[in-house]
Amino acid sequence: MNKKVLSIQRADTIAFLAFASPWIIGFVGLTFIPMVASLLISMTRWNILTPAVWVGLENYRTIFQDPLFYKSVRITLVFTVTSVPLMIVFSIFVAILLNNKLPGMKMVRTIVYLPAVISGVVIALLWMWIYNPDFGIINNVLRIFGIRGPGWIFDQHWALPSLVIMSLWGIGGNMVLYLAGLQGIPTERYEAAHIDGAGFFGRLFHITLPGLSPILLFTLLTGIIGALQTFTQAFVMTRGGPNQSTHFYAFYIYRNAFVFRKMGEACAQAWILFFIIFIITIIVLRATRGRIYYGSAEGDNL
């Protein structure tokens, strides 16, 4: 290999590193170093105000002996396995409806998407008013029909279901992805299925869902990861109550870190959450292996 080729390769390498350097610096400074620091802090007893004391794995043993740890994990998992499937199903249903070429459909799509760009705190405050048992809009509508509405987020039996229902407010992001996927499925397939006598559900399960399978996998994984880190609703709306019925795992971490100033335990809890998410992600990827359809331009399975 002559010097000219080597100089070209060196120039390409330098150019690549120059263009990638903002991401590399951001990753190292804002992700990698904080992760290493949190791992080290998780093995110390530190209340921020005094020097850290090395305790090894003591924080992890303390966490696994705390009943609230298991309760917060259970609440978070229940919220995840109920809200994520509902969001996916509802998002696909809305995307199919909005995929029709009707007058004013672009405006409707924009309106449906808008809640996805609103701050989580603003949405939480809005739904606190909607769920208010005395003057909230839902209970006011129910009173018209002579129905006494529940206490919603102020009732320990209704608080978690209320947050699940509220999660459907943010389907706009997934809806846009599914809508783009629907528009990428060749219409010839639907026409052929119609000629063969396939009904709505036949086309849905044999054409639409296979065509959307890569997007379904993406939204499933991001939905699970987001749901497992649910915090804003518990912090703004319920403070983990009533009676710890919405004591999500992320709220559990927050309380230990910034209320009780147990930074070592909080970092250990964060690493446990990281491994929970990692394991669930691996399980989902293995369970869907061979079930995701990637169609080429010719319609072949890749």
Mind listing the domains of the chain with CATH numbers?
Answer: 61-287 (1.10.3720.10)
262-281 tens-digit pLDDT: 999 999 999 999 999 999 99
The model scores a pTM over 0.85: yes
Predicted pLDDT of residue 1? 54
pLDDT of residue 295: 65
pLDDT (0 to 100) of residue 105: 84
Q: What is the pLDDT of residues 185-242, one digit of tens each?
A: 888 888 888 888 888 888 888 889 999 999 999 999 999 999 999 999 999 999 999 9
How far separated are the first and last CA of the chain, in Å rounded?
37
Under-50 pLDDT residues of the chain:
296-302
260-263 CB contacts, 8 Å cutoff, 24+ apart: 261/47, 261/48, 261/49, 262/45, 262/47, 263/41, 263/44, 263/46, 263/47, 263/48
Alpha-helical (H) ranges within the chain are 3-27, 33-41, 58-64, 67-98, 105-113, 120-130, 137-144, 159-167, 172-183, 187-195, 200-203, 209-228, 232-233, 249-254, 263-287
